[in-house]
Structure 1
């Protein structure tokens, strides 16, 4: 059985049978029906995931942020504002507590773990929040050859699943996903194109802020990558395995594997921006049921993100013009999830408050 088949994961679809009862509980609160907007959808999702036969409080326990880091061969073409060495430097910054994701996790109460999926060089450090799951020293230049071998693609998925199983096995029931990797908006655009057939030029943006000349180079390189992929695999879209092998990155593969394992365990997935959404699309192509466990935290400023959100039938919680990555949008959404649980658990009903309309 292939890990790229849904039967391997056996993700249970959410049981929708109690939905009318849960909606009745929500609508019975001292407010007009639907007045809390997307918070009501979040509360419903939490209650369905934690359903035990009767209306019970919902809980958020030991929320964690997993930031997966890797390097990409295509970045050698100067299509980013930063050299590839910045991937490793930013991972060190994460471990030293100095990045935006550190600040947001500290503010909102998420434990932060950083995973080396395949940076060019391994860090010679030992840190309690640093997990080494290296597949290789960076993926290949997708404009010229497949990003990885079949074996490396499988290993990426399985490594990510192992990380998630470890976190959820210790009591975490909300897992946020972030990433770090110079050049990873390029491979994310290529992966989405491979999975959907959408022309890659329509999905290719300026990332963290490249100039117009760099964008043209980036678009041309990605069109070369897609032409090569079609020559090797046939017309787009291609299978999830082919998409990851030919156009993916190690961090994207590991995020997808971690999402699959998180859903398999019945826990909630916080999806960050463009790159993490590409991984979410990959995960849903492998096992569509994983979509039930996802919360889409924000719409980034990156070109192509709205398209992938539409493919996932997702309405993001926030639209703040973010384009940083790291999991920052996911970390910022946790207070909204907590607010949804709070009103579901603690808000009075019309009956208990003796409010008569």
Structure 2
């Protein structure tokens, strides 16, 4: 009998190693010292392998923001009320959020999907409002999601990617008051480390607020750590027990992108938690991923170091929404422009002898 999550095990698409190697060789014919463009050269090589050509381009970027509320907010772990999630969704629809500005700047295909909030957005179209629940349950009292909600959220992310006709790069953004706490718990449960190590100010908690948040997260972790540790799929268990609808949807989107051969640009602290879950299910996802920036959320730097990831930017951002990733798109485009448009030594009549 087919299980609704069987698609998670579909292999990732093949990367064209021949095109990547040809692109690397082509880099050495350009009018510059070998390696002088640093990581920009490797970015071009990666895109060559992804796009199966020597001179890749980046013109079609899709940005999808996934939203959802978190029942753990009942434990006073956020500086903002949950009504803000729905209000921000309306701001996205109206085009006034940071991610809207950045999406327009890089000519990205932008859309938003609400998985389930406490308050209802006023401007969001009905087909963009799944309403899996009025946010997740309070994870300090019961699992954040039912099995059915987890499946629906993962599949919603998959479906957003399946609806993309022609995409060269995918960015997943998130909106959900309280979701730094959910992300912190996912990190802690999968690393089997104290949740306090991953707790930070989020949207702006005071020192006292962070201390309280650490206490709450440690208590929740104690409730579920053994269950996660002994689970057949620790990543899915952590996601269901303590995650968010939007985090699950991003996880599903990342996996589907890699299966369809679409590279993903991971944003910040929350989306990195979604990536960690997804990579636990499909280790090859790493080969289809770039990381945009290091968040100012304190634990993000440690998480990236543990994953042996060097992000593209480090600008002390902590907004979320996919904003750090959108900001990095022009950098990627310029890397490919340099690779594809610079003259070769032969073409320019420049002596390439060392």
Q: Displacement, 1:27?
A: 2.1
Provide the C-alpha distance between the structure 2 equivalents of 1:262 and 1:251, rounded to a whole number of angstroms: 16
Unaligned runs of 5+ in 1: none
1:38 aligned partner:
39
Provide the C-alpha distance between the structure 1 equivalents of 2:78 and 2:268, rounded to a whole number of angstroms: 17
Provide the C-alpha distance between the structure 1 equivalents of 2:180 and 2:303, rounded to a whole number of angstroms: 13
CA contact (8 A) 1:79 1:183 kept: yes
Determine helix, strand or coil for the equivalent of 2:158. helix
Provide the C-alpha distance between the structure 2 equivalents of 1:210 and 1:349, rounded to a whole number of angstroms: 53
Counterpart pick for 2:154 among 153, 157, 174: 157
Determine helix, strand or coil for the equivalent of 2:58. coil
Counterpart pick for 1:285 among 280, 283, 293: 280
Q: For residues 156-181 of structure 1, give each alpha carbon's deviation from its aligned partner in whole angstroms, at most 9, with x where no partner exists.
A: 111110011112xx212211111110
Are positions 1:343 and 2:318 aligned together? no
Provide the C-alpha distance between the structure 1 equivalents of 2:207 and 2:231, rounded to a whole number of angstroms: 27
Normalising by structure 1, we get a TM-score of: 0.92
2:163 aligned partner:
166
1:121 aligned partner:
119
1:205 aligned partner:
200
Determine helix, strand or coil for the equivalent of 2:314. coil
Q: How many pairs are equivalent?
A: 351
CA contact (8 A) 1:61 1:171 kept: no
Provide the C-alpha distance between the structure 2 equivalents of 1:239 and 1:233, rounded to a whole number of angstroms: 5
Are positions 1:78 and 2:76 aligned together? yes
Provide the C-alpha distance between the structure 2 equivalents of 1:127 and 1:61, rounded to a whole number of angstroms: 27
CA contact (8 A) 1:29 1:348 kept: yes
Determine helix, strand or coil for the equivalent of 2:45. helix
Determine helix, strand or coil for the equivalent of 2:136. coil
CA contact (8 A) 1:10 1:264 kept: yes
* TM-align CA RMSD: 2.1
Provide the C-alpha distance between the structure 2 equivalents of 1:279 and 1:20, rounded to a whole number of angstroms: 31
Unaligned runs of 5+ in 2: none
Q: Displacement, 1:66?
A: 0.8
Matches within 5 A, 1:141-156: 141-156=138-153
